[in-house]
Amino acid sequence: MTPDSAAFPDPTVQPVPPSVVNRVDAADSTLHNPQRAVLSLGSNLGNRLETLQGAIDALEDTPGVRVKAVSPVYETEPWGVEPGSQQSYFNAVVLLRTTLPPSSLLERAHAIEEAFERTRDERWGPRTIDVDIVAYQGVISDDPVLTLPHPRAHERAFVLVPWHDIEPDGEVPGYGALVGLLPTVGDQGVTRREDVELVLPR
């Protein structure tokens, strides 16, 4: 993917079928005053696709959370390590509607990481799963426990590219529209995997 192709999405990408949208919108009726959240998922250990799907299913199984959209899968080289020293990442972005406050959603994200035996022994080390809250509604916060939006999201193609796929008019709070940010980050070695797919929970 080139910077130009990041700015202009693949015309073969199809929108979510209306039947799926209607089904997910109907599920929203079980939530009272839901808020919108964007989460980034990544895995470079074990069965990466299976782990990402398991994390998505676990989010959907969380009371007060509905998964609204799931991006295509992208493959990305690890950051901050010698080339070839780790397996590449599978990355995806999910859009949620949730009644959980940011702190509770963070607790749930950490619980999912723990369930998949995520370890934090070394910075930039390999991991079974990352579940990061990228944005929550339009909240901007410098709380060190949960900085919103994620402090590096606006610089990461592996976040911006899949997010743009499922929300072309999305914005990173405080930084601007995705369509404006994408040309500034280039492709960063992010490659769409046409041969694998994540499923929106039903």
The model's pLDDT over 68-78, given as tens digits with 9 standing for 90+, comes to 999 999 999 88
Domain annotation covers residue 201: no
Query: Domain range holding 122?
Result: 30-151
Task: Please pick, among 48, 97, 108, 127, the residue that the annotation labels catalytic.
Answer: 127
Rounded Cα–Cα distance for residues 129 and 59 (Å): 13
Q: Which pTM does this prediction carry?
A: 0.80
Report how far apart, in Å, the C-alpha atoms of 169 and of each of 143, 160, 176, 179, 180 are. Answer: 27, 12, 10, 7, 10
| 143 annotated active-site | no
| 169 annotated active-site | no
| 130 annotated active-site | yes
Domain annotation covers residue 66: yes
The residue that leads in pLDDT, 83 or 10, is: 83
**Which amino acid type is present at position 95?**
L
Domain annotation covers residue 168: no
Task: Please pick, among 48, 130, 156, 192, the residue that the annotation labels catalytic.
Answer: 130
For residue 77, the model assigns a pLDDT of: 86
| 57 annotated active-site | no
What tens digit of pLDDT does each residue of 28-70 get? 555 678 999 999 999 998 899 999 999 999 999 999 999 999 9
Task: Please pick, among 36, 57, 118, 193, the residue that the annotation labels catalytic.
Answer: 118
Report how far apart, in Å, the C-alpha atoms of 172 and of each of 16, 53, 54 are. Answer: 22, 25, 26
How does DSSP classify residue 187?
-
84 falls in which pLDDT band (50, 70, 90)? low
Query: Which residues have CB under 8 Å from 85's CB, separation 6+?
Result: 78
Number of domains composing the chain: 1
Domain annotation covers residue 96: yes
For residue 123, the model assigns a pLDDT of: 53
Task: Please pick, among 48, 132, 165, 192, the residue that the annotation labels catalytic.
Answer: 132
Domain annotation covers residue 179: no
What tens digit of pLDDT does each residue of 146-168 get? 999 999 999 999 999 999 999 99
For residue 14, the model assigns a pLDDT of: 43
Domain annotation covers residue 157: no
Domain annotation covers residue 191: no
Domain annotation covers residue 7: no
CATH number at residue 128: 3.30.70.560
* b/e 37-69 (16+ beta carbons within 10 angstroms → b): bbbbbbbbbeebbebbbbbbebbbebebbbbbb
Q: Are 3 and 178 in contact (CB under 8 A)?
A: no
